[in-house]
Chains A and B, each alone.
Chain A
């Protein structure tokens, strides 16, 4: 069975500081990995995804994530936080061992201080 763990349900950073949101997964087959963002009172939208190929993936709004198979991790980073980045972020995994269904982590709420 596949699962996703997001370390830290709440992360607070200052504007301009590095953003690091952690995601670890378990999957018995090579996974597909996703980060979604949810702004208040809205649905989720895709930030970036890893399927195959280059392990450093760039997404929208300056975010990127690196797939590290040896660490079973897919951490999300952004060099400089902006106030508009305040939102909830979800890591998700899918793989053939779960019928390619998306399994989500518990989410991390990012707060950005002025």
Chain B
């Protein structure tokens, strides 16, 4: 009963390095999301994928790219990491974009030095 699985759990990058955060869900959900969590700011939507084959920008997309690899997997890529991208990243999934419950992964704590 895995739900939403994110890897890695922790990562330290140097400024300018690139990396990909992986997310997979086993609930046959159609929609997937990437959020970042910063103190006092709640969760802000970076990108989302309403269905397989589609992706759209959220509130804070700059510096990120995403790929909906298949129905299960949705990855987030930082092409050239910056200290401002130090954050905790959460992947989530829902059956649709119609306000059903969102299921979250455990998060990836990323530090850019």
Total B residues in contact with A, Cβ cutoff 8 Å = 22
Contact present for B58 and A101 (CB under 8 Å):
yes
Residue in A4, A45, A94 whose beta carbon sits within 8 Å of that of B104 in the complex? A45
Known A43-B4, A43-B107; contact A102-B40, beta-carbon cutoff 8 A: no
Which residues B29-52 have CB closer than 8 A to chain A?
Answer: 33, 35, 40-45, 48
Total A residues in contact with B, Cβ cutoff 8 Å = 24
Known A101-B58, A107-B40, A107-B42; contact A49-B101, beta-carbon cutoff 8 A: yes
Task: Count how many pairs of residues, one from A and one from B, have CB atoms less than 8 Å apart in the complex.
Answer: 53
Q: How far is the CB of A99 from chain B (nearest CB, A)?
A: 7
Question: Which 5 A-B residue pairs are closest in the complex by CB-CB distance?
Answer: A43-B104, A104-B42, A32-B99, A104-B43, A44-B104
30 contacts between A and B (CB under 8 A): A32-B99, A36-B102, A42-B106, A43-B4, A43-B90, A43-B92, A43-B105, A44-B92, A44-B102, A44-B104, A46-B101, A46-B102, A49-B101, A90-B42, A94-B99, A99-B97, A100-B98, A101-B45, A101-B58, A101-B97, A102-B33, A102-B45, A104-B35, A104-B42, A104-B44, A105-B42, A106-B40, A106-B41, A106-B42, A107-B42
